[in-house]
Amino acid sequence: MSDFIDNVNIENQLQGQNPFQIMRYALEQFDNIAISFSGAEDVALIDMASRIRPDVPVFCLDTGRLHPETYRFIEQVRKHYGIQIDVVSPDGEAVRALVKEKGLFSFYKDTHKECCGIRKIAPLRKKLLELDAWITGQRKDQSPGTRADIPVIQEDLAFARPGDKLTKFNPVANWSSEQVWSYIRAYEVPYNPLHDQGYISIGCEPCTRPVGPHQHEREGRWWWEEATQKECGLHASNISAPKSNDVLNDGP
């Protein structure tokens, strides 16, 4: 009970902080922590972390189905910040078995859950078993149906080691997309060139498409499925969970 009360108190304190301050808190509290990298928000977080603790570990998931631009983007970020990026791949035999049984595009018929489970969730689970905490670029306004209530700090019950804790930080939870891009422009942060082609939320190539004017960013992901379930499982707690305005005022 005391741990729960402490977490609530910390969450209440951090809710009023900007992402740089939340990032600083996370890196001061945990040595065994890593940033999960895929999108624009995550590179903004890498940029913030580089100003606090340049050697913070970074990892990304290579599903084997990413856009060519995304692979080049990963390499660009690695070189830009002079960091190592742990590129985590799925189990080859599991991928082979799925493709052999159902082909390369089974998700259009069976939903994306099975494919994401093999290509994303399993390798993420294996990676998170090594960590005490991780940092993500989730924002509340990314998906009103599944992310509207995400806190800036939480206990990750979905991926914690048995009998242990895994803390999850979402430093930009309270930022809008506009605030993220204001940061990217202000600090000349690298970004995926697909954003210039109308892509907002970028995942695997077969499951991602550009969005039109006035469409929500998640409409470009798994567009053939129910809008309120657009999570691949990386943030599984979002489905079951009940439903700083300046660029930075305490950072670089």
Question: Residue 228: how many CA atoms within 13 Å on its side-chain side?
Answer: 5
The rounded distance, in Å, linking the Cα atoms of 42 and 20 is 13
> Is 60 a known active-site residue?
no
Q: What is the largest CA-CA distance in the chain?
A: 53
The rounded distance, in Å, linking the Cα atoms of 150 and 208 is 23
> Would strands 167-169 and 153-155 be described as parallel, antiparallel, or unpaired?
antiparallel
Find the catalytic residue in 60, 204, 207, 232: 232
Phi/psi at 88 (nearest 5 deg)?
A: -95, 125
133 has which bridge partners? 33, 167
Continuous H helices in the chain: 2-15, 19-29, 40-50, 68-81, 92-102, 107-110, 113-116, 122-128, 177-186, 237-240
Sign of CA dihedral 232, 70, 172, 245: negative
Which are the catalytic amino acids?
Answer: 232
